[in-house]
A and B are shown apart, each in its own frame.
Chain A
Amino acid sequence: MKTLFFPFTPQGIALLSFLLVVAFTIVGALIAVLARNIFHNVLGLALSLFGVAGLFVYLNSPFVALMEILIYVGAICIAICFAIMLSQPLYLPGAPRNPLKIQGAALGAGAVFVFLALLTKKTRWVPAAERSTDWSITTIGHYLLTNYVLIFELISLLLLVAMLGAIANARGGRGRS
Chain B
Amino acid sequence: MSLEVQSLSVTLSGRPIVREASLSVAGGECVGLVGPNGAGKTSLLRAIVGAAPKVGGAISVGGVSLVDLKPKERARRIAYLPQDHHLEWALGARDVVALGRTPYLGAFGARTAQCDSVIDASMKSVHVDALDGQPFSTLSGGEKARVLLARALAVCAPVLLADEPVAALDPYHQLQVMEILKSRAQAGDAVLVVLHDLNLAARFLDRVILMSDGRIIDDGPPHDVLTKDAMENVYKVTPLSGDADGETWLIPWRRLKSD
Q: Do A and B bind each other?
A: no
